[in-house]
Amino acid sequence: MESLELSNQLLSKIVDYMAAKKLSYNTRRSYYYTLKKIWKDYKVLDNESSRKLLKKFNHQNQRAVLVLINRYCYSENIDFKINIPSIARQRKKKTIKILSAEEIEVMIKSVPKPYDLMLKCIFKIGGGLRISEAIKLSWNHFFWANWLKNKALGSVLIKDSKGDDRIIPVPNAIMEEVYELGKERELLNEFGIPIGGIIFKTTENFKPKLMTLDLEKWKQEYIRHSYDWFRYNILRKRCEPALGHPVRIHSLRHTRATNLYDSDIPIEIIQQLLGHKEITTTMIYTQVSNKKVFEAMEKVD
C-alpha cells in the first residue's frame, strides 16, 4: 500500500495503541499533539506527504510519532510504512534548577492542606516523585502493616511509572503525616490501616461515565486534568507569588536527587529511587554540585 488514509477512526485506534504502551503522561501528551497536527494538515500519508513531514520533523520526539504509526500498521497487518532516515541526536545540556531548603519551606507553607503534604511527598519520597506519580498515590499503595509494626522507615509501591512498578522508601515523618490524614478522613479499617483510592484528589466525581466505560482512558484524562489543575492552582496561584519567581514542580525532584548525591548515596541507588532505566539520565539530574567541587579541591595540595 503506497498511501494511508488519515481517518478519525484510524487516529482513535492509534491513540488506543499508544495508551497500551504505558508511556509517561508528558510523552503521551506530546505524541497526541503531534498526531493531531498530522491529521489536521493531511488527509492521506503517501510518499509526498511523508517527505514533507520528515523535512519538518527534525526533533527525535516528532519522528518517534512516525515510528509509532509504522508500528501500529505492522501490528495490524496494514501494508504501509514510512521510510524514516536516522538523524544525529542532539542532546542539549539541561539547565537544572535546584531549590534551596528555604524555598521549599516557603512553597510548602504557601499552599492549603492537604497539598502541602503532597509537596512534601513529591520532595521526600524516594529520590523525588514525578508529578504523575504523586497524582496517582493511593492509600492502598503504602505498606502500612510493616510500618505500623516498626514505626520506622516506610515504603510505597509506585505503579505504572513509565511502564514499570517499583517499591521505594518513605521517611517515617511522611508516613506519620499521611497516616494522620487517613485518620482525619476516617479511612482506617478494623486493623488501623488506611484504605481507599487516590490520596490527593484534585476534583470530586471526575467524569464518572467515562470511568465506567473506559477506565484506562479515564486514568489518562484524570492525570492530565490534575496536572493542569495543580500547575495553575498550586504553583501559579500559591507558590510563585510566595517565592517571587516562576517554579517548576520537577525542580523538587531535581533538588532531592542532588541532595542525595551530595550525601554520598551511590549513583546506582539514586537511579533506582528515581526509576530511571538508564544511569546516564540519572547523571543529568544529579549534577556535580558546588559542594562536591569544593570538597574535592580541599583534598588537593
Same domain, 64 and 204: no
- Please give the average pLDDT of every successive group of 10 residues along the chain, which has 301 residues: 87 87 75 90 89 82 87 89 71 71 96 96 94 93 94 88 81 96 95 94 88 84 91 95 94 91 87 85 68 64 58
What's 142's DSSP letter?
B
Residue 190 lies in a domain: no
Residues 112 and 231 in one domain: yes
In a domain, 193, yes or no: no
Cell 521549599 sits on residue: 104
Residue 93 resides in a domain: no
173 is a domain residue:
no
Tell me how many degrees the CA angle 64-70-65 measures, rounded to the nearest 5. 25
Task: Quote the strand ranges of the chain, DSSP E.
Answer: 4-5, 44-45, 154-161, 164-170
Q: Do 115 and 44 fall into the same domain? A: no
217 and 130 inside one domain: yes
Residue 150 domain-assigned (yes or no)? no
Q: Which three-class secondary structure state does DSSP give residue 169?
A: strand
Q: Is 84 within a domain?
A: no
Do 121 and 251 share a domain, yes or no?
yes
Do 117 and 203 sit in the same domain of this protein? yes
Give me the amino acid identity at 150: N
What is the phi/psi pair of residue 41, to 5°?
-85, -20
Whether 299 maps to a domain, the answer reads: no
Looking at the structure of the chain, the number of domains it has is: 2
Same domain assignment for residues 124 and 258: yes
Instruction: Based on the fold, state whether residues 227 and 117 are members of the same structural domain.
Output: yes
Domain identity same for 215 and 118: yes
Residue ranges making up the domain that contains 64: 4-75
If DSSP codes are grouped into helix, strand and coil, which group holds residue 170?
strand
Backbone angles phi, psi at 103, to 5 degrees: -65, -40
Q: Are residues 61 and 121 in the same domain?
A: no
Look at residue 92 in the predicted model and tell me its pLDDT.
54
**What is the predicted pLDDT for the residue at 295?**
66
Per-residue pLDDT, 89? 54
- Residue 183 forms part of a structural domain: no
At 87, the amino acid letter reads I
| CATH number of the domain to which 220 belongs | 1.10.443
3-state SS assignment for residue 156:
strand
Residues 124 and 38 grouped into a single domain: no
Same domain assignment for residues 212 and 261: yes
Q: How far is CA 108 from the centre of its chain?
A: 20
Predicted TM-score of the model (pTM):
0.72
pLDDT at 286: 64
